[in-house]
Amino acid sequence: MSESRFRKIDEWRWEIPPTGGMRVPGLLYTSEKLMKGMGADEGPRQVANVAHLPGIVKGSLAMPDMHWGYGFPIGGVAAFDLDEGVVSPGGVGYDINCGCRLMTTRLRLPDVRERIPALVTALFQNVPSGVGSRGPLKLSPKEERQVLIEGAAWAVRQGWGTEADLEATEDGGAMVGADPGKVSDRALERGKEQLGTLGSGNHFLEIEVVEEIFDEQAAAAFGLEPGQICVLIHSGSRGLGYQVCDDYLARMVKHAGEIGIDLPDRQLACARLNSARGRDYLAAMACAANYAWANRQMLMQRTRETFEKVLGMGPRELGMRLLYDVCHNIAKIETLPVDGKEVRLCVHRKGATRAFPPGHPDVPPAYRKVGQPVLIPGDMGTGSYVLAGTKGAFTETFGSTCHGAGRVMSRTQATKSCRGRSIPREMAERGVIVMASGRGTLQEEIPEAYKNLDDVVEVVHRAGLSRKVAKLRTLGCIKG
């Protein structure tokens, strides 16, 4: 898309005015720096494509980490009217409820500095990762059904964590409306042995240290202190979620003509929210979301046990507490303000995170004064940010903000640029211990393949879509 199509609104906002079949404008949250070269990327064209969909409200939004996806851009947010609008599996993505969870500990950097290699090695052994890895359980059909209905609570009931973990999980770790009857046999087959596995690609588990606090009050509410050791997990719904997306996309592509619009990209295939096909997808998607929450819950409990064993500590001494768990690939029915009125909408966040403001009833009581915790993972080995949700996001971006650094380099480009380099050694020189099971993963995930996380977070902070609370630096990382 030509850059002449963009109209600058202010320092952090650019508009793509509607042309052709666009029903609403595109709105990009970005900066001059991140805009450079954006025209050459397919991302803005995808923002414009999403604006064609029926029932879209206000605008097709893109967060500063936006990049070329398929159908919807990654970093895209779009909300739809429940009567006129649609739900699109491509607007959620294949990895339904891919997300992050951050745990704090009582440990401080000097306590574990020398033990990081041992911890990374033990985590790599205990947490199944990589393509085709199997989890610790083989679910019976009945058990799998319960996982899909109960989400993280199922895992807690089986001894994987505590009730307190559920209170610190978006939606309490279970989305309502999940109906396993809407999930295909293929998806169920893929799900039965993968619960409790990290996955591959950009999924990871990192040991991090709190390096900088930007907001004392919010950091205190979140239980974050400088020098504190934390663990960040990034994973999703594994093969079950991919299959749910694939099944419903195929169904919706076949019937795309029925909703009476010419899709600019078949990957945008969708169904009316008030149709049986649309409702069935949401019921199956909720199952996959719940599977992902059970998955991250189990990954966290494995991490707790590994830390206790390696460090020879009891649960109290270690104090590994779930700060929060957010999803960043999801469609949700939420009540949000539009032009001063409260409206029920279906919000798609594809590579975008919910960022509810202080006082919102869906924010856990302990955090309600400061806003919902938002977890923003960075590229491999650089660390992450903790942000807090704001009123700005609630009124302007359907309660949404960015989700990560965002790729700028394709995987083949990244691999090419790694010729003759040892990525583990480079990471070690930066003070990060990395272990990966996939041969090419480390090369594909090199830091320069991503946008600068500081630049991305600066935009959402300055635009008022969330507030910087703390920055964490990576000490050790396992990847699939």
Partner 1 sequence: MGYRVFDHTARIFDHTADLGVEVTGATLEKLYAGAAFALFDLLTDLSSVRAGRSREFDVLGENPADLLINFLREILYAWNGEGFLMKNCFIRQITPTRLRAVLRGEEFDPARHRILKEIKAVTYHQGSVLETPEGGWVARVVFDV
* Residue numbers annotated as active site: 403
Q: Max CA-CA distance within the chain? A: 64
Q: Does 254 bind partner 1 (CB under 8 A)?
A: yes
Binding mask 23-52 toward partner 1 (x if CB under 8 A, else -) reads: ------------------xxx---------
Strand 321-327 to strand 99-108: parallel, antiparallel, or no bridges (unpaired)? antiparallel
- Considering the complex, what minimum distance in angstroms separates the CB of residue 94 from partner 1? 5
Q: Binders of partner 1: how many residues, by CB under 8 A?
A: 45
- Locate 259 and state its tokens: 């909703």
3 state DSSP class of 37: coil
Is the Cβ of residue 297 or residue 443 nearer to partner 1 in the bound state? Answer: 443
Is the Cβ of residue 243 or residue 303 nearer to partner 1 in the bound state? Answer: 243
Q: Which of residues 75-104 bind partner 1 (CB under 8 A)?
A: 90, 94-95
Q: Does 200 bind partner 1 (CB under 8 A)?
A: yes
The three state secondary structure string of 51-111 is CCCCCECCCEEEEEEEEEEECEEEEEEEEEECCCCEECHHHCCCCCCCEEEEEEEEEEHHH
- Using CB atoms within 10 Å of the CB of residue 302, give its burial: 0 to 12 exposed, 13 to 18 middle, 19+ buried: buried
Residue selected from 234, 350, 407, 479 as contacting partner 1 according to rule CB under 8 A: 407
Q: Does 253 bind partner 1 (CB under 8 A)?
A: yes
Binding mask 162-191 toward partner 1 (x if CB under 8 A, else -) reads: ------------------------x--xx-
- Using CB atoms within 10 Å of the CB of residue 231, give its burial: 0 to 12 exposed, 13 to 18 middle, 19+ buried: buried
Q: Which of residues 257-276 bind partner 1 (CB under 8 A)?
A: 265-267, 269
∠125-126-131 over CA atoms, to 5°? 75
Q: Candidates 130-138, 150-158, 275-283, 382-390 — which segment interacts with partner 1 by CB under 8 A?
A: 130-138
Is the Cβ of residue 37 or residue 314 nearer to partner 1 in the bound state? Answer: 37
- Locate 433 and state its tokens: 């211990």
Cα Rg of the chain (Å, integer):
21
Q: Does 74 bind partner 1 (CB under 8 A)?
A: yes
In sequence order, what are the residues at sequence separation of 6 or more whose Cβ sits closer than 8 angstroms to the Cβ of residue 228? Answer: 104, 105, 107, 108, 209, 210
Find, among 147, 165, 138, the residue nearest to 290 by Cα. Answer: 147
Distances (CA, A) of 476 to 83, 270, 380, 454: 48, 41, 10, 20
- Locate 33 and state its tokens: 């720096």
Residue selected from 111, 143, 211, 246 as contacting partner 1 according to rule CB under 8 A: 246
Q: Candidates 109-117, 358-366, 418-426, 434-442 — which segment interacts with partner 1 by CB under 8 A?
A: 434-442
Q: Does 131 bind partner 1 (CB under 8 A)?
A: yes
Binding mask 414-433 toward partner 1 (x if CB under 8 A, else -) reads: --------------------
C-beta separation of 388 from 467 below 8 A: yes
Is the Cβ of residue 366 or residue 409 nearer to partner 1 in the bound state? Answer: 409
C-beta separation of 403 from 128 below 8 A: no
Residue selected from 15, 21, 54, 70 as contacting partner 1 according to rule CB under 8 A: 70
Residue selected from 138, 141, 250, 258 as contacting partner 1 according to rule CB under 8 A: 250
- Considering the complex, what minimum distance in angstroms separates the CB of residue 376 from partner 1? 17
Q: Does 201 bind partner 1 (CB under 8 A)?
A: yes
Helix axes 276-311, 141-150, angle to 10 degrees: 100
Q: Candidates 65-73, 170-178, 310-318, 457-465 — which segment interacts with partner 1 by CB under 8 A?
A: 65-73
Binding mask 313-352 toward partner 1 (x if CB under 8 A, else -) reads: ----------------------------------------
- Considering the complex, what minimum distance in angstroms separates the CB of residue 419 from partner 1? 13
- Considering the complex, what minimum distance in angstroms separates the CB of residue 267 from partner 1? 4
Find, among 353, 452, 464, the residue nearest to 13 by Cα. Answer: 464
Q: Which of residues 438-477 bind partner 1 (CB under 8 A)?
A: 438-440
- Considering the complex, what minimum distance in angstroms separates the CB of residue 48 from partner 1? 15
Strand 204-213 to strand 228-235: parallel, antiparallel, or no bridges (unpaired)? antiparallel
Q: Does 245 bind partner 1 (CB under 8 A)?
A: yes
Q: Does 251 bind partner 1 (CB under 8 A)?
A: no
In sequence order, what are the residues at sequence separation of 6 or more whose Cβ sits closer than 8 angstroms to the Cβ of residue 55? Answer: 80, 81, 83, 84, 85, 86, 273
In sequence order, what are the residues at sequence separation of 6 or more whose Cβ sits closer than 8 angstroms to the Cβ of residue 354? Answer: 170, 326, 327, 332, 372, 374, 389, 399, 400
Which residues form the interface with partner 1 (CB under 8 A)? 41-43, 67-71, 74, 90, 94-95, 130-132, 186, 189-190, 199-201, 239, 242-243, 245-246, 249-250, 253-254, 265-267, 269, 407-413, 438-440, 480
